Amino acid sequence: MRFIIIGGGCYGTYHSGQLYKSIQKGKLPADSQLIIVDRNAQPKAMTAHGDKPGFSFVQSDWQAFLQTFFSDPARYNPATDGEEVQIVPAPFAPHLFFDWLRFSVGEKLKELGRDEIVLEREGFDYKLNLPYEFTDKSGNHFISRAGWTCPTACIEPRLCPAVKGLRDWDLGVDLPNFVVGQAVKPSQSAALKLNAASLPNGSTALAEAGPLAPGYFAGTELFTCHHFSHGIGTTPARQLFEARARLIALATWLGPAHPEARVVIGTVSHCHGVAATVRMALA
């Protein structure tokens, strides 16, 4: 297996170290490769792990690396490699998968001779009524079901240690449901803790967030980061290509009767996430 670890600082050092332990304990294939991508020539992870087998280090901007790596079928072919490549996102990173998807769909549309279709980033500034929501200057909307500080390496188990009860929420369900007009289901297990802190607990529908026409959003594409091994969450690379195929199909369907479509793009774990909107339209 190959693991692309975004960032070689404190988090990347920890993430790669945990995966290395998993390899050493036989939980992952012995020939697994740990590819650490960082802007610095000698990141902290190189000092910590540079002498260990299976590690490689790439000095690159994160987005530039993803674009180059996944543009080469010799490096990754979704038809044959499947789950063999896993991406370990950095906790504090731009919406990398959104940017890769917009770039890659645009490149494919050019190859198909459909360069009259433009892809634009739009924000997703709609309140889901969650304990934490923040929209940055690029329009990325960061969301969390947690009204408390989570451990760095929390695997988001079914029994949440913070509320000492069932984790009865999942942003992988909440966000798509919200986009199609359903209210975010309040958590029963976290209600006491959230109420005590005067924090919101869902129950808002998209219709309450703004005057949108029916079908304003064509749908949602989600990249999920879930626990993979030894406390580390990953996103399967195949998800990028599956989402790309669906967006290309939608884009090539556009015509005079339907000149534009908007899709919400999210990267989420069960508890935390980020969302933005891509607008595809005939130029």
Residues 150 and 231 occupy one common structural domain: yes
pLDDT confidence of residue 27: 97
Are residues 233 and 136 part of one domain? Answer: yes
- pTM exceeds 0.85, yes or no: yes
Give the type of residue at 109: L
User: Do residues 206 and 246 both lie within one domain?
Assistant: yes
pLDDT average, residue stretch 35-64: 96
pLDDT one-digit tens code per residue, 200-242 = 999 877 767 665 666 789 999 999 999 999 999 999 999 999 9
Helix (H, G, I), strand (E, B) or coil at 259: coil
* Count: domains in the chain: 2
Report pLDDT digits (tens) over 118-165: 999 998 988 999 999 999 998 999 999 999 999 878 999 999 999 999
pLDDT of 204 reads 79
Looking at the structure, do residues 226 and 100 belong to the same domain, yes or no? yes
Average pLDDT over residues 54-71: 97
CA 196 vs CA 131, 145, 163, 175, 265: distances in Å: 12, 15, 12, 25, 32
Name beta bridge partners: 119. Answer: 280
Domain stop point among 43, 72, 88: 88
Q: Are residues 125 and 209 in the same domain?
A: yes
Q: Which of 71, 88, 105 is the last residue of a domain?
A: 88
Which pLDDT score, from 0 to 100, does residue 213 have? 63
Domain boundary among 88, 111, 138: 88
What range defines the domain where residue 35 resides?
2-88
Q: Examine the domain organization and report whether 55 and 151 are in the same domain.
A: no
Q: What b/e sequence results for 2-31 when a residue is b if at least 16 CB atoms lie within 10 Å of its CB, and e otherwise? A: bbbbbbbbebbbbbbbebbebbeeeebeee
Q: 262 and 150, same structural domain?
A: yes
What is the pairing mode between strands 2-6 and 272-282? unpaired
* DSSP state, residue 115: T
pLDDT of amino acid 162: 95
Q: What is the predicted pLDDT for the residue at 151? A: 85
- The whole-number pLDDT of residue 212 equals 63
The answer to whether the beta carbons of residues 204 and 128 sit under 8 Å apart is yes
